[in-house]
Amino acid sequence: MRTRSTSGTVGVVTLVLAALLGSAYALGRSMTPATPRQPIGASAQIDGAQYGEQPADPAAPHTDPDGTRPDGGTPTTGADPDAPQPASDGDGPFGSHASTGTPEVALTFDDGPDPTYTPQVLEVLRAYGVKATFCVVGENAQDHPDLVQAIVADGHTLCNHSWHHDVLLGKRSPALIRADLIRTNDAIHAAVPDARISYFRQPGGAWTYPVVSVAEGLGMTPLHWTVDPNDWQVPGAAKITTTVTRDTGPGAIVLMHDAGGDRQGTVDALRRLLPELVSRFRLEALPVNGAN
């Protein structure tokens, strides 16, 4: 009888210990921070620099996933002091420029330079005698100064596109915005000391009054766009070609990308587009002294 009692006691103790250990494990798991998920979609980084570009409506202010704006406004909570107002200096959001102001059409390429795609874009433009505008990311300019030199040597215009494609740059303080733009200009000037950088394009089109004001204070015209084929979403050369051909008119600024992801579709579309565009419009780089 004593043996059975001892065995029963041991069994109960074992069950109690197992329950306690299970509770401790569950408690420990609940106190351990979850591993952050890798971002998905246009802002994900895969095999190098990847940049999320425009919101669905490029003319609308960018909205973060939590519903807030980069400038601190909340679209659903009454009057927003940073809501777009009638442009005083330009025809785009927050006074940025969204057209050339002339019959000429301007092709613009964002996010480069990139050693794979920028040389291809330059080659196609050169074949058709077309000058364009390249909105370069500072860290890419620092990594590929030879490509910045090639862009300038071919007679194209340069545009500042922030140091690290910061879609939330307009949410920063004016001092941080200014430091970012100056750092990017310095990287460009390290490659081409006498280069004119007369334009700034806010990543994602997420314009705010502070970022426009700082850019203008540094002598750069805030540059938006008219035509957006969403080539950053890699829709394929056929769709890019169709959108640009259909939507481009006199004075248009066409947004495309030579970096930030797989841009072979953009390059292939450019080969199809240029014969059509040059037959309809005069294609020019934006003037190096800025917009009028």
DSSP string, 151-210: HHHTTPEEEE--SS--TTGGGS-HHHHHHHHHHHHHHHHHHSTT--EEEE--GGG---HH
User: Residues of the chain with pLDDT > 90: what percent?
Assistant: 67
3-state secondary structure of 87: coil
pLDDT tens string 67-120? 333 333 322 222 233 343 333 457 899 999 999 999 999 999 999 999 999 999
110 is catalytic: yes
The span from the CA of 54 to the CA of 260, in Å, is: 13
Contact (CB, 8 A) for 56 and 204: no
The span from the CA of 251 to the CA of 282, in Å, is: 10
CA–CA distance from 21 to each of 96, 120, 186 (Å)? 62, 62, 59
State the pLDDT at residue 94: 97
pLDDT tens string 198-247? 999 999 999 999 999 999 999 999 999 999 999 999 999 999 999 999 99
The full length of the chain comes to 292
Amino acid at 266: T
Please tell me which residue in 144, 180, 257, 258 is annotated as part of the active site: 257
* Sign of the C-alpha dihedral computed for residues 134, 135, 137 and 138 taken in this order: positive
pLDDT band with cut points at 50, 70 and 90 for residue 290 = confident
Residue 153: both structure tokens together: 């040597």
State the pLDDT at residue 90: 76
Contact (CB, 8 A) for 226 and 233: no
User: Residues of the chain with pLDDT > 70: what percent?
Assistant: 69
The span from the CA of 237 to the CA of 203, in Å, is: 23
Higher pLDDT, 19 or 94: 94
3-state secondary structure 113-143: CCCCCHHHHHHHHHHCCCCCEEEECHHHHHH
Residue 38: both structure tokens together: 């890798």
Identify the top-confidence range among 3-17, 53-67, 86-100, 150-164.
Answer: 150-164
Q: Assess whether pLDDT exceeds 70 at residue 261.
A: yes
pLDDT tens string 177-206? 999 999 999 999 999 999 999 999 999 999
Mean pLDDT of 259-264: 97
pLDDT band with cut points at 50, 70 and 90 for residue 37 = very low
3-state secondary structure of 64: coil
The C-alpha R_g of the chain, in whole angstroms, comes to: 26
State the pLDDT at residue 74: 27
Please tell me which residue in 62, 71, 110, 180 is annotated as part of the active site: 110
Mean pLDDT of 257-284: 98
Q: How far is CA 77 from the centre of its chain?
A: 27
pLDDT band with cut points at 50, 70 and 90 for residue 289 = confident
Mean pLDDT of 125-145: 98
Q: Assess whether pLDDT exceeds 60 at residue 32.
A: no
Mean pLDDT of 161-166: 98
State the pLDDT at residue 60: 40
Mean pLDDT of 60-71: 35
State the pLDDT at residue 59: 39
CA–CA distance from 287 to each of 88, 150, 210 (Å)? 20, 18, 24
Q: Assess whether pLDDT exceeds 90 at residue 42.
A: no
